[in-house]
């Protein structure tokens, strides 16, 4: 993507700021964020920032493409206030897309979630049946349906990307997320500081960990190719939490044992295993993950191992 005017909602957050900073090299990038989960400190100077809510009128949607990443992005946030979750994740989505449509923008790439696949050790294709077990998942499925509406009724290019366990580490924009950061970042920081990482259950749960730089490339390619529909963004490989701790210890030169605790999240809604089938976006854009897991672990640990 070059010489475009783009809007990134939630662009001061973890994934959004990585995307905005990347795109700002060759494009005119505007970020809006209400600073509930994001901070403008994550952004480079070339990015234009405005503290705005996706529920407001008169948003800066006179752009060539919108990347809609703004969301309440955890199970707990939606359980604390389901109505706020629906307003931000569903009404906010419709509000931004409708303003963009009225301003002549017909390319929108937005964040969905892989959580809707439930527990899957086999790669999950986009065509499989999905269910909502949490308010968060329900809100993301609602986005996909509204995306379908805007695509079918108005001919807009609406691409929903189902992210799989995105990570970067605390030396990047993930640090400000704290307890909401990916477990790799949390575990690495604990181990580097001699503290036992806390693992729910027995540590056998698995995730398709996908580095944020690969997610950013997928988002950009989705806009470049004007994709429509839903697409997985994940590596197709999954690692259990015990292995994550083992590899972090190996990279950090430490020997910190994890602490196993009872899972506070109900079993009926906790996603134990995830794995992506990313063949659809690969076939349509050529996207491939470039950061394998071992390299990702090295990058996460680099801030602690640098001389």
pLDDT tens track for 39-92:
999 999 999 999 999 999 999 999 999 999 999 877 778 888 899 999 999 999
Judge whether 5-166+210-235+278-285 and 169-206+238-275+290-305 match in fold: no
Q: What is the mean pLDDT of residues 266-279?
A: 91
Place of tokens 């809006």: 32
Contact 258, 245 (CB under 8 A): yes
Average confidence score pLDDT of the chain: 94
In three-state secondary structure terms, 177 is helix
Residue 180 has pLDDT above 80, yes or no: no
For residue 80, what pLDDT is reported? 85
Residue 263 has pLDDT above 80, yes or no: yes
Residue 290 has pLDDT above 80, yes or no: yes
For residue 22, what pLDDT is reported? 97
Residue 260 has pLDDT above 80, yes or no: yes
Q: Where are the beta strands (DSSP E) in the chain?
A: 5-9, 28-32, 48-50, 65-68, 107-113, 157-163, 166-167, 198-200, 206-207, 210-211, 229-233, 239-240, 259-261
In three-state secondary structure terms, 276 is strand
Q: Which candidate, 79, 80, 69, places its Cα nearest to that of 37?
A: 69
All structural domains of the chain with their residue ranges: 5-166+210-235+278-285, 169-206+238-275+290-305
For residue 39, what pLDDT is reported? 93
Q: Which candidate, 134, 135, 137, places its Cα nearest to that of 162?
A: 137
Share of the chain above pLDDT 70, in %: 100
- How far apart are the C-alpha atoms of 214 and 204, rounded to whole Å? 25
State phi, psi for 111 to the nearest 5 degrees. Answer: -90, 125
Q: Which of 3.40.50.150, 3.20.20.20, 3.40.50.720, 1.10.760.10 would CATH assign to domain 5-166+210-235+278-285?
A: 3.40.50.720
Residue 95 has pLDDT above 80, yes or no: yes
Query: pLDDT tens for residues 234-245?
Result: 999 999 999 999
pTM for the whole thing?
A: 0.95
For residue 307, what pLDDT is reported? 59
Q: Which candidate, 277, 272, 271, places its Cα nearest to that of 234?
A: 277
Q: What is the mean pLDDT of residues 277-282?
A: 98
Q: DSSP assignment, residue 46?
A: T
- How far apart are the C-alpha atoms of 216 and 18, rounded to whole Å? 7
Q: In the CATH hierarchy, which top-level class contains the domain 169-206+238-275+290-305? A: alpha beta
Query: pLDDT tens for residues 3-25?
Result: 999 999 999 999 999 999 999 99
Tokens representing residue 235 in the block: 């590596």
In three-state secondary structure terms, 225 is coil
For residue 269, what pLDDT is reported? 82
């Amino acid at each position: 993507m070059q010489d475009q005017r783009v809007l990134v909602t939630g662009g001061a957050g973890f994934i959004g700021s990585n995307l905005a900073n990347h795109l700002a090299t060759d494009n005119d990038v505007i970020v809006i964020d209400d600073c509930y989960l994001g901070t403008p400190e994550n952004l480079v100077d070339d990015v234009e920032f405005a503290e705005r809510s996706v529920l407001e009128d008169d948003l800066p949607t006179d752009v060539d493409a919108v990347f809609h990443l703004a969301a309440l992005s955890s199970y707990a946030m939606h359980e604390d206030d389901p109505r706020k979750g629906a307003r931000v994740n569903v009404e906010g989505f419709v509000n931004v897309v409708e303003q963009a449509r009225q301003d002549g923008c017909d390319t929108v790439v937005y964040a969905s979630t892989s959580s809707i696949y439930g527990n899957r050790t086999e790669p999950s294709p986009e065509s499989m049946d999905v269910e909502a077990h949490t308010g968060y998942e329900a809100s993301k499925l609602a986005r996909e349906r509204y995306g379908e509406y805007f695509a079918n009724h108005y001919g807009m290019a609406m691409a929903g990307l189902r992210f799989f366990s995105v990570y970067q580490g605390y030396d990047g924009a993930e640090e400000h997320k704290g307890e909401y950061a990916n477990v790799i970042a949390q575990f690495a920081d604990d181990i580097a500081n001699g503290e036992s990482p806390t693992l729910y259950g027995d540590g056998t749960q698995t995730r398709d960990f996908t580095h944020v730089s690969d997610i950013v490339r997928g988002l950009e390619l989705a806009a470049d190719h004007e994709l429509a529909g839903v697409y997985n963004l994940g590596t197709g490989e999954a690692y259990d939490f015990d292995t994550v701790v083992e590899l972090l210890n190996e990279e950090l030169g430490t020997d910190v044992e994890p602490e196993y605790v009872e899972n506070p999240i109900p079993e009926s809604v906790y996603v134990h295993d995830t794995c992506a089938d990313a063949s659809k976006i690969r076939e349509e854009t050529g996207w491939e993950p470039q950061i394998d897991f071992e390299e990702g672990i090295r990058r996460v640990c680099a801030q602690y191992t640098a001389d």
